[in-house]
Amino acid sequence: MSRFNLLKNRGLSKWIGFLFAFLIFGATVWFSTQFVNQLRKEEKIKIENYAKAVQLLASDETALSSEVNDYLVRITSGNETMPVILIDGETDEVYGSSNIEEEILNDSVQLNRLVLKMKEIQEPIEVDLGVLGKQYVYYENSKLLKRLQYYPIILILIIILFVYFSYWYFKTLKNTEQSFLWAGMAKETAHQIGTPLSSLLGWVEILKMEEMDQEPVLEIEKDIHRLNQITERFSKIGSLPELQPNNLIEVTETTVNYLKGRISKKVDLRFNSEKEEIRIPLNVALYSWVIENLVKNAVDAMQNQGAINVYVTEKENTVIVSVLDTGPGIQKKLHKQIFEPGFTTKQRGWGLGLSLAKRIIENYHKGKIFVAKSDKDSGTEIRIILRK
């Protein structure tokens, strides 16, 4: 099985990308958590220093110089970030506060609620004032620390959005480039085939004038007209799709009947439909090429012997076209990959047929094409779903 180099290690590339993204997320969370924890420790040390300063300022047993006293006052009054409440241990009276709204201090209900909240977050720090009793310092994290706690989540969301946008952008860019490439190849192919086709049509007209068996000539003419249809299909790739109401049953049956005389006699090709007419928006030339490609792939998979059933069913607002063969089946892991450019099981295949078929069905007709089921004993069913 051969594939283009860009597609060989696709599975491995996905795992490497996933691992790389996981490492980025992990590193982001770890560093952010470490930073927040360090800031939390520093804030706790500040509060402990605050409590110690209160204790020293209230102590009668220690003679403090004016410089030391001023320093302790600066510690207690210099807190501008953390909400702090100093409460008496016996009377629950508020002796001091920092960064608490005046409205809360004047409302006992709100104040008690805030104190309980602080107690749940952090254990209050005890301040032993000796004969004056005990006081407790209640506090909670600063606004900066509260915001930083959400920083890892916000950063991860930003990274996810960036990765998603990058993936979407590059995928769109890749699809656009592929579309231009497909259109260029298709139109160039149609142009190259067109010139010899005109000559062949002239030779057929000359052969018709000769006194000879005309049956082979008529068959040659059919094949030339078929080639002419193929060039028409390829010349339309890349242009706006022209979808006209057509009888899907008639188009599909005509394509199948044409192929019956051009595949191995050991292949039993049949067409079945519950109805005689189902009209849907359709580009006849492109759609019939898809059916032809699926049938020929099935013939190759069965090594020119077996049975192929093409059947059409109607379901609510959709029409289902199924191509079922009795070949060796397709591995489940390859069900999606067979529609990728470059994927082929043929020794000299290009791997473009099914990719182009997918583009015609999904991009032009806004339908779906996929492997419905596949088994080594019962063969493969490729299903096309089209809107009415």
Task: Mark whether 232 and 311 lie in a shared domain.
Answer: no
Give me the number of domains the chain comprises. Answer: 3
Task: Mark whether 125 and 262 lie in a shared domain.
Answer: no
Last residue of a domain, one of 223, 239, 255: 239
* Bridge partners (DSSP) listed for residue 2: 344
pLDDT band with cut points at 50, 70 and 90 for residue 162: confident
Identify the DSSP state of 300.
Answer: H
> For residue 285, is pLDDT > 70?
yes
Identify the DSSP state of 56.
Answer: H
Task: Mark whether 37 and 144 lie in a shared domain.
Answer: yes
User: Does a structural domain hold residue 366?
Assistant: yes
Taking only the tens place, the pLDDT of each residue in 58-107 is 665 444 445 444 544 555 565 667 788 878 777 777 777 777 778 887 77
| pTM exceeds 0.75 for this model | no
Summary mean pLDDT of the chain: 80
Task: Mark whether 308 and 199 lie in a shared domain.
Answer: no
Distance CA 356, CA 346 (A): 17
User: Does a structural domain hold residue 276?
Assistant: yes
Distance CA 284, CA 244 (A): 8
Beta pairing class for 84-88 and 94-98: antiparallel
Q: Highest-confidence range of 130-134, 225-229, 285-289, 369-373, by mean pLDDT?
A: 369-373
> For residue 18, is pLDDT > 90?
no
Q: In the numeric block, which tokens belong to residue 316?
A: 């609510």
User: Does a structural domain hold residue 312?
Assistant: yes
Last residue of a domain, one of 191, 212, 239: 239
User: Does a structural domain hold residue 195?
Assistant: yes
Q: Which helix (H) or strand (E) holds 70?
A: helix 66-77
Q: In the numeric block, which tokens belong to residue 40?
A: 């939390």
Task: Give the residue numbers spanning the domain of 199.
Answer: 173-239
Distance CA 269, CA 259 (A): 8
Task: Mark whether 298 and 318 lie in a shared domain.
Answer: yes
Taking only the tens place, the pLDDT of each residue in 225-236 is 777 877 776 676
Predicted pLDDT at 237: 64
| Nearest CA-CA partner of 156 in 39, 329, 24 | 24
* Bridge partners (DSSP) listed for residue 318: 315, 387
Taking only the tens place, the pLDDT of each residue in 322-349 is 999 999 998 888 888 888 876 676 666 5
Task: Mark whether 360 and 381 lie in a shared domain.
Answer: yes
Task: Mark whether 184 and 246 lie in a shared domain.
Answer: no
Q: Which helix (H) or strand (E) holds 207?
A: helix 151-209
